[in-house]
Amino acid sequence: MKPDILQLNPILIPAINDKLNTLYTVHRLFEQADKDTYLREHGAKIRGVITGGHTGITRAMMELLPALEVVAVNGVGTDAVDLEYARSRGLPVTGTFGALTEDVADLAVGLLIATCRGMCSGDRFIRAGDWVRNPQPGAIPLARRVSGLRVGIVGMGRVGRAIATRLAAFGCPIAYTDLRRMDDVPHAFVPELIGLARQSDALILAAAADKAEGIVDAAVLDALGKDGYLINVARGRLVKEADLVAALQAGRIAGAGLDVFVDEPNVPEALFGMDNVTLQAHRASATHQTRAAMGEMVLHSLAQALAGKRPEFSLTT
């Protein structure tokens, strides 16, 4: 009999879904209208869970799954999983570590360039027919040069390092903050986030949000200053969103490029009319190539755990 797997989010790669369906009986919770009833009916036989980084799984849901042997996160963020409870049950919680590094770093750099150079507002200007109506060069304000920007990276893990590599090629001096100095990183370590913000033209968030919440607040934004840009490809809740909106509204920072938000898919509407803000719908890992690689890692983790082995990409066991 095929093991029963509970899937909390869709996987967008048909080949991965085919493999899952061949190997497992897949219960797609996201397709169920009445999720509580479905879980009560099928929970007892579920041996594995697949979830997204942003969705995770609550303790309450894990408690409804007494036969659970593994939680496979199709992502790298494990902040939405109750890791302590998983550990107490000896449950491996796995991630797709390394698979999405390049994509997330690419999007961070893309957001920085798009925001500083006004690429999305420029695109809207043409589509709206405004270039024809206003062909004079001054119709669009001058932009901000990206090459040479002083960049501060918050979180020097895999993604932070990949962002640093890319932006070093743009001639950007790089500094970073993290819980500790990293001996194998050639860039300047700044212990306090506010100090990093003060010396940066662009602050890029690439940190895990397991413990850090609201670390970018009004004081940090003011330290970044009226010529500074904030880029976030990590988690929305690293930022006090109301403080960010207020800083943008008052021109206390220059702009922001955001892939993540506190309450997705709800994005503060105040941002919609701001040409100095670039918005993405949590898309940093959303390429065919990366999602296929992530899916393979999820399959690998499920297979190892359900064969009674410790999964290679487990965080908790």
Catalytic positions are 235, 264, 282
**In the complex with ligand 8YV, which residue's Cβ is closer, 43 or 52?**
52
Q: 219: how many CB neighbours lie within 10 A of its CB?
A: 13
Q: Interface with ligand 8YV includes 202 (CB under 6 A)?
A: no
In sequence order, the 6+-apart residues with CB closer than 8 A to the CB of 267 are 258, 261, 279
Q: Interface with ligand 8YV includes 53 (CB under 6 A)?
A: yes
Residue 265: cis peptide before it, omega within 30 degrees of 0: yes
Residue carrying structure tokens 């790089």:
174
Residue from 77, 92, 257, 311 binding ligand 8YV (CB under 6 A): 77
Q: Interface with ligand 8YV includes 295 (CB under 6 A)?
A: no
> What is the SS3 assignment for 29?
helix
The amino acid present at 199, given as its one-letter code, is Q
Residues 100-129 that bind ligand 8YV (CB under 6 A): 100
Q: Which residues are 229's β-sheet partners?
A: 202, 255
Q: Interface with ligand 8YV includes 71 (CB under 6 A)?
A: no
**Where are the extended beta strands (E) located within 183-252?**
188-189, 202-205, 229-232
Region from 57-65, 75-83, 110-118, 194-202 binding ligand 8YV, contact rule CB under 6 A: 75-83
First to last CA, the chain: 27
Residue from 282, 302, 305, 311 binding ligand 8YV (CB under 6 A): 282
Residue from 70, 72, 74, 158 binding ligand 8YV (CB under 6 A): 74
Pull the structure tokens for residue 102: 């390049």
Residue from 7, 232, 276, 285 binding ligand 8YV (CB under 6 A): 285
Binding site for ligand 8YV (CB under 6 A): 9, 52-54, 74-77, 100, 282, 285
